[in-house]
Amino acid sequence: MKVLSHKDMICTGESWSRTPPQLRIQMNNQKISEKTGGIFLWFLVKEKGLVCFKETGLFFSSRQTRRRWGTANSGTNRITLYRHSAWMLLHELAHIPVGVEKGHGWEFGETLDILAKVWLSEEWQVILEAVKGGDF
């Protein structure tokens, strides 16, 4: 996965995010697996009570593309990641409760910030380390 150093992509809605740019860059360079993504979805629903993600299907494409790093369909609750990074997972997840038709407005930015706070929380980081260590 190519390492990135930019703060924002044009028209991604990240300009609405209050998550510090360096953390966004760090999470966009943090490679994740399908297992990690699935466990994060479980964590959001079961531990954080965010039932809007209960029926979300997460797919990691083997086709990595520059043009599109991920897609979300809020009608079918399906997310496909082409760039397998933590930030892209959070970005696409933010579309589910907000709705893709609303685009990348302030509601999207707020949702993205909430998801980033959960990802960066000590509670999730302990689980993430257990996943990496094969303890989960």
Distances (CA, A) of 121 to 38, 71, 74: 17, 25, 26
pTM, two decimal places: 0.85
Dmax (CA) for the chain in angstroms is: 39
Structural domain that includes position 113:
29-127
Q: Is residue 52 part of a domain?
A: yes
Q: Is residue 18 part of a domain?
A: no
CA gap 114, 83 in Å, rounded: 21
Q: Is residue 23 part of a domain?
A: no
> What's the total number of domains in the chain?
1
Q: Please, what is the Cα angle at 40 between 63 and 15, to 5 degrees?
A: 70
In CATH, what number is assigned to the domain containing residue 78? 3.30.2010.10
Q: Is residue 79 part of a domain?
A: yes
Helix (H, G, I), strand (E, B) or coil at 12: coil
For the segment 13-61, what is each residue's pLDDT rounded down to a tens digit? Answer: 566 788 888 888 899 899 999 999 999 999 999 999 999 999 999 999 9
Beta bridge partners of 59: 80
Beta bridge partners of 70: 81
